[in-house]
């Protein structure tokens, strides 16, 4: 994947800073664990601005909620609109967002530091041990215990760290290894993304979809495909490819309705045969994906949102590693499209659509 120069520059500057500062910090004993009965409130630190990376926190949050039922969890994120997705999870008390240009806003930065230190936590967890911004935030937090993965270039005042065993292949499950600090063991069947949509959110989304179909004079029981065309960098699939895919899909079944999901980067629908939908509330958007028969896109944040909303998710990969970033769940599917034509992918999409509808009819979903 082609990574922008500014991203690479920031990465190497961070590595240099971490290595330099780590010279002044004592290496942490990585063997001790924590008594979960002692932990009443936790803050998770992930100051990131990507939807997918924040949704990747859901397995850890959900397992902490099960393992310590009365725990209160705060989360520090980067993007507020993405962080709001996590607010509805069980045991989540508060989601705190950090403005992207905080370092350029001295007054706001001072206020953030004051607020960050105002509350005392039992445990602060830094998810990404190599991140400079995460280490800065971890250092500012007022917490009895501070934990992360072991890294020789760590310079924060951690009380606990553990070695990665690389138990899980998928990136979203990596943080579950931190549960060993609390002697918690996740169950295999629960290793999914899940934003825990409420029934009220699901009902509203179904009503929105019905209204959209009714407005277009379409049957409310139509086979509906939610399509999202955007993705970062060279993961993005070009509109010409999607256009051919759509044409081939309709050849297989004229009754299929494609709803093009618009965003700040996708301002108009693919063609006049598509419907369109947008929603800035990501939980509502996820519920809409679930209301549709299936969701289709490249490897992108909304794809993980669809999966975490328990939508039938078909992910089309062309660059990234499927085992590390593919969609999770038995009802979802990830396919490598590098050697496939739009016609072949349309057939695979149609087969997945029919199979998903069949399963939903059997289960009564």
For 301, residues 6+ apart whose C-beta sits below 8 A from its C-beta are 50, 51, 52, 53, 55, 82
Regarding whether 180 and 75 lie in a shared domain, the answer is yes
Q: Total domain count for the chain? A: 2
Instruction: Let me know: does 267 contact 72? Beta carbons within 8 Å.
Output: no
Average per-residue pLDDT in the chain? 89
Question: Which is higher by pLDDT, 216 or 79?
Answer: 216
Regarding whether 225 and 169 lie in a shared domain, the answer is no
Q: What is the pLDDT of residue 19?
A: 54
Number of helices and strands (H, E) in the chain? 12, 12
Regarding whether 24 and 50 lie in a shared domain, the answer is yes
- Tell me which range, 77-91, 182-196, 339-353, is most confidently predicted by mean pLDDT: 339-353
Domain boundary, last residue among 169, 190, 211:
190
Q: How far apart are CA 127 and CA 43, in angstroms?
A: 11
Instruction: Let me know: does 181 contact 161? Beta carbons within 8 Å.
Output: no
pTM of the model: 0.90
CA distances from 86 to 38, 248, 265, 330 (A): 24, 37, 23, 23
Question: Is 5 a member of any domain?
Answer: no
Regarding whether 352 and 253 lie in a shared domain, the answer is yes
Is pLDDT of 157 > 90?
Answer: no
Q: What is the mean pLDDT of residues 147-154?
A: 89
Structural domain span for residue 269: 199-360
154 band by pLDDT with thresholds 50, 70 and 90: confident
Regarding whether 82 and 138 lie in a shared domain, the answer is yes
Question: Is 4 a member of any domain?
Answer: no
| 11-54 residue pLDDT tens | 545 565 555 555 556 556 566 789 999 999 999 999 998 999 99
Instruction: Let me know: does 21 contact 151? Beta carbons within 8 Å.
Output: no
Domain boundary, last residue among 128, 161, 190:
190
Q: How far apart are CA 48 and CA 97, in angstroms?
A: 9
Domain boundary, last residue among 190, 209, 240:
190
3-state helix, strand, coil in the chain (%, to 5): 45, 20, 35
Q: How far apart are CA 154 and CA 132, in angstroms?
A: 9
| 265-305 residue pLDDT tens | 999 999 999 999 999 999 999 999 999 999 999 999 999 99
Question: Is 6 a member of any domain?
Answer: no
Question: Is 172 a member of any domain?
Answer: yes
Percent of the chain's residues with pLDDT above 90: 71
Regarding whether 220 and 74 lie in a shared domain, the answer is no
For 327, residues 6+ apart whose C-beta sits below 8 A from its C-beta are 303, 304, 306, 307, 313, 314, 315, 333, 334
Q: What is the pLDDT of residue 115?
A: 77
Regarding whether 245 and 346 lie in a shared domain, the answer is yes
Q: What is the pLDDT of residue 6?
A: 47
Q: What is the pLDDT of residue 13?
A: 53
Q: What is the mean pLDDT of residues 235-250?
A: 97
CA distances from 326 to 18, 112, 307, 315, 329 (A): 30, 35, 10, 7, 10
Q: What is the pLDDT of residue 153?
A: 83
| 67-117 residue pLDDT tens | 999 999 999 998 888 888 999 998 999 999 887 776 666 777 777 778 778
């Amino acid at each position: 994947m082609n990574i922008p120069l500014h991203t690479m520059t920031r990465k190497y500057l961070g590595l240099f800073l971490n290595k330099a500062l780590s010279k002044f910090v004592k290496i942490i004993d990585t063997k001790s664990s924590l008594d979960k009965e002692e932990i009443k409130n936790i803050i998770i630190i992930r100051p990131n601005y990507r939807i997918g990376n924040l949704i990747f926190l859901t397995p850890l949050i959900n397992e902490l909620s099960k393992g310590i039922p009365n725990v209160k969890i705060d989360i520090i994120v980067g993007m507020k609109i993405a962080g709001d997705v996590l607010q509805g999870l069980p045991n989540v008390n508060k989601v705190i967002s950090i403005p992207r240009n905080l370092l350029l806003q001295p007054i706001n930065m001072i206020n953030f530091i004051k607020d960050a230190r105002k509350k005392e936590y039992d445990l602060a967890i830094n998810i990404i041990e190599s991140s400079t911004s995460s280490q800065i935030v971890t250092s500012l937090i007022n917490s009895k215990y501070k934990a992360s993965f072991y890294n020789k270039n760590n310079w924060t005042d951690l009380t606990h760290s553990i070695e990665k065993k690389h138990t899980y292949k998928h990136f979203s499950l990596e943080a579950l290894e931190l549960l060993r600090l609390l002697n918690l063991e996740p169950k295999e069947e629960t290793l999914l993304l899940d934003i825990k949509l409420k029934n009220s959110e699901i009902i509203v989304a179904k009503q929105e979809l019905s209204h959209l179909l009714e407005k277009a004079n379409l049957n409310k029981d139509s086979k509906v495909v939610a399509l999202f065309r955007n993705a970062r960098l060279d993961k993005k699939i070009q509109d010409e490819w999607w256009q051919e895919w759509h044409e081939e899909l309709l050849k297989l079944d004229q009754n299929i309705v494609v709803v093009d999901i618009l965003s700040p980067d996708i301002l108009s629908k693919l063609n006049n045969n598509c419907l369109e939908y947008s929603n800035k509330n990501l939980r509502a958007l996820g519920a809409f994906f679930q209301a549709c028969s299936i969701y289709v896109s490249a490897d992108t944040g909304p794809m993980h949102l669809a999966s975490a909303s328990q939508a039938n998710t078909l992910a089309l990969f062309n660059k990234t590693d499927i085992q590390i970033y593919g969609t999770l769940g038995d009802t979802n599917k990830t396919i490598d499209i590098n050697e496939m034509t739009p016609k072949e992918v349309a057939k695979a999409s149609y087969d997945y659509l029919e199979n998903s509808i069949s399963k939903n009819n059997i289960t009564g979903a």
